[in-house]
Structure 1
Amino acid sequence: MGFIAISSMLFLGGIYVTIALAWWILQIVANWRIFTKAGEAGWKSLIPVYSDYISYKIAWQTSYFWLVFILGIVASCVQTYAGDSTMLLTIVSLIRIIAGIISIMYSVKLARAFGRGTLFAVGLIFLQPIFMLILGLGDDRYYGADK
């Protein structure tokens, strides 16, 4: 490879890293704002598992966070030991489907907590980073968790 090819790859890699960093910072700002709109301290959005717990508290109930958390651990453990067992792999699939349904319900609850409707919830389901930016950086008001 020539010098020009290597420098071009480094340049393109630098552009990618810059865009990814900017996107990451925007996501942090959006989550911080969502938390503060809901009356939580913004720094809580920076701590990985704790931020998910607070997100469920903001949108719904923390018991569903614990359910998804435990289901994820169980699915991971069962999959590790499943080998070629069709029954165990089916159980893992069912656990993941249940967790996916709860995640969809969370998106609906989050949209409602900020006074948004079903179409916004669909946006949260399929394009979550973009709709979280809209929620965090927009002028949406927090109305409370939908129990």
Structure 2
Amino acid sequence: MSIAATVLAQQSAAQAAGQTTSQIIALALTVLTIVGMWLTFRKAGRHGWAAIVPVYNLYTMITITGRSGWWLLLFLVPLVNIVLYIVIVLDLAAAFGRGTLFGIFGLWLFPFIGFPVLGFGRAQFEGTPLF
């Protein structure tokens, strides 16, 4: 085997290890977000399992904030969906007595931190629970 082939094999192995590590980290952050969202939904009086259903979790967040369920259709419009999601997370932060910075940084940019803070923390839902 030539030196070039050996170097390529080593680089390929290192790349595979790096990809595996990245995937494990992404999975851990996803699980952390889901658990935090599950507990946040439970605090708001909703079903926790809504956190694992892709479109229903967005609908649940919309209803927790007191917005109409029809907002879900607006999420189909490109760029509008980004603005609406920011509005929803800001309203969600306010529903738990948190401020704008928590909504932006905790729930929008870093949901793997924000949702567990709401779910595991002392934040109380200040709205009216459904169940």
Aligned residue in 1 for 2:15: 9
Residue 123 of structure 2 corresponds to residue 135 of structure 1 = no
Of all paired residues, the percent bearing the same amino acid is: 32
Q: Deviations over 1:28-50 (max 9, x none)?
A: 11111111111111111111111
The answer to whether the Cα contact below 8 Å between 2:89 and 2:108 also exists between their aligned partners in 1 is no
Matches within 5 A, 1:1-147: 1-2=5-6, 3-69=9-75, 72=76, 75=77, 96-97=79-80, 99-124=81-106, 127-129=109-111, 130-144=113-127
Offset, 1:126? 5.0
Higher helix share: 1
Structure 2 distance, partners of 1:25, 1:112, is 24
Gaps of 5+ in 1: 77-95
CA 1:126–1:51 in structure 2 vs 1: closer, same or farther (change >3 Å)? Answer: closer
Gaps of 5+ in 2: none
Aligned length: 121
CA 1:104–1:17 in structure 2 vs 1: closer, same or farther (change >3 Å)? Answer: closer
TM-score (norm 1): 0.69
RMSD: 2.3
The answer to whether the Cα contact below 8 Å between 2:58 and 2:72 also exists between their aligned partners in 1 is no
Offset, 1:117? 2.0
User: Moved runs in structure 1, 4+ residues, more than 6 A?
Assistant: none
